[in-house]
Amino acid sequence: MATGCTVAGVQASRAVATTHTTTLAANTFHSSDTCSHRLIGIRYIGMSADQPRFQPPDASVAPRYTGIRTFARLPQFPVPHDGVDAAVIGVPFDTATSFRPGARFGPEAIRSASALLRPYNPALDVDVFATLATVDGGDIAITPGNALRTTEQIDAALQPVLRAGIVPLVLGGDHSIVLGELRAQKAVHGPVALVLLDAHADTWDQYYGERYFHGTPFRRAVEEGLVDPSRSLLAGMRGPLYGPGDLDEPLELGFEVITGSELAALSPGEYGERVRSRIGSDDLIRREAGPVFLSFDIDVLDPAWAPGTGTPEVAGLEPRKALAFLRALAGIPFTGFDVVEVSPPYDSAGQVTALHGAAVAYELLTLLAVSRR
Ligand code: MN
Ligand code: MN
């Protein structure tokens, strides 16, 4: 182990890897910063000097079910930290739900289901983890029963991450948590364009007198000036409402809405064009459009594929189409993402909701990798 402290960098990890990979598996990491960081393993045997420092371990060395569960078997590492491009961060908060609770266990279940992910995404021809140095940043401390305080905790935790140039991918948690994410985005990047995929617009004013709730975050975000509704597109809204004016409310706030049935009739290319045109540039690779944030509520999927969620609505998207919609957004320089409302206690025996949550999160990292390559 002492060798790892005296020989800096990748070569050191290669040398030690030969010795230790048979006994140490998965999501361990090597730090070349100082000798106070103990070298506890190696994550990627085939890595070369130009590979990102933070990657999942090589699955040909130890099976993917070994190791402590982090997202995609990534090294767990506190953020912000130098050399990190993207961080997966859990927010296990669910006491702002109106129906089924349980999303506090969403990050854990998505991490567990994500063990099967592989680095290369053929759909967009990108090796996600060879392009982005990615870590699992662990969970943000939250306050059960206090959505407003939790919002402040999320904001405080994410601001330094964003200021370090790291793109966060947050795993919820009920959808109230997005308000904290958007406060941090606004503080660092300014008001963001919101790309929302959700069965609900989440623009109601209050529930039971509570203004900070999982059905209200995007109204609060407009009130607080965190999002630019004129550059935002909400898609997938469906199911019964409280009244005929419910879907007028997001429009009155300035959002554009594509209902669930309209969305199902769009091709992925058409959806991609709607998003690009709404957020303000046809050539987003030039980054002229300003910051863009994507929020994916798992209930945009049909409950056949995502039963484990807070407020399921029938007749939703099939996963194949949802993934195609996301891939149609390749090239947009997103400044943050989340996947919310995965509630494992209501999931099926095969953890199908968590599996789809992990797959969606992987596609979001893929979008980031495409925009960075
Ligand atoms: Mn939602
Ligand atoms: Mn929803």
86 CA to middle of ligand 1, Å? 23
Give the helix/strand (H/E) hosting 17. helix 10-20
User: How far does the centroid of ligand 2 lie from the alpha carbon of residue 170, in Å?
Assistant: 16
- pLDDT above 70 covers a percentage of the chain that reads 84
Q: Residue 303, SS3?
A: coil
Q: What average pLDDT score do residues 55-83 get? A: 94
Stated pTM of the model:
0.88
Alpha carbon of 176 to ligand 2 centroid (Å): 11
- pLDDT, one tens digit per residue, over 12-40 is 333 333 333 333 444 544 444 433 333 33
Q: What is the mean pLDDT of the chain?
A: 88
The pLDDT assigned to 345 comes to 98
Lowest mean pLDDT among 42-46, 248-252, 284-288: 42-46
With a pLDDT cut of 90, the percent of the chain lying above it is: 80
Pair 176, 217: CB distance under 8 Å: yes
- Are 367 and 330 within 8 A, CB to CB? yes
Distance 315 CA to ligand 2 centre (A): 13
- Locate the domains of the chain by residue range: 1-53, 71-372
Question: Which ligand minimizes its atom distance to the CA of 214?
Answer: 1
DSSP at 83: T
Alpha carbon distance 309, 298 (integer Å): 7
The band of 289, judged by pLDDT with boundaries at 50, 70 and 90, is low
Range 254-259 contact pairs with CB under 8 angstroms and sequence separation of 24 or more: 254/222, 254/229, 254/230, 255/194, 255/201, 255/203, 255/218, 255/229, 256/232, 257/201, 257/233, 258/233, 258/234
pLDDT of residue 373: 84
What tens digit of pLDDT does each residue of 218-259 get? 999 999 999 999 999 999 999 999 998 888 999 999 999 999
Cα 247 from chain centroid (whole Å):
26
How far is ligand 1, taken at its centre, from the CA of residue 211, in Å?
Answer: 15
173-212 pLDDT, tens per residue?
999 999 999 999 999 999 999 999 999 999 999 999 999 9
CA of 311 to the centre of ligand 2 (A): 6
pLDDT of residue 30: 43
> Residue 172: is its pLDDT beyond 60?
yes
Give the per-residue pLDDT at 350: 95
Q: State in Å: Cα 228 to ligand 1 middle.
A: 18
The CATH label, of 3.40.50.12160, 3.40.640.10, 3.40.800.10, 1.20.200.10, for the domain at 71-372 is 3.40.800.10
Tens of pLDDT, residue by residue over 96-144, are 999 999 999 999 999 999 999 999 999 999 999 999 999 999 999 999 9
**Res. 11: pLDDT tops 60:** no
CA–CA distance, 124 with 75 (Å, rounded to integer):
24
Ligand nearest to the CA of 260: 2
287-306 average pLDDT score: 91
Phi and psi at residue 38, in whole multiples of 5°? Answer: -75, 140
**Ligand 1 centre distance from Cα of residue 73 (Å):** 27
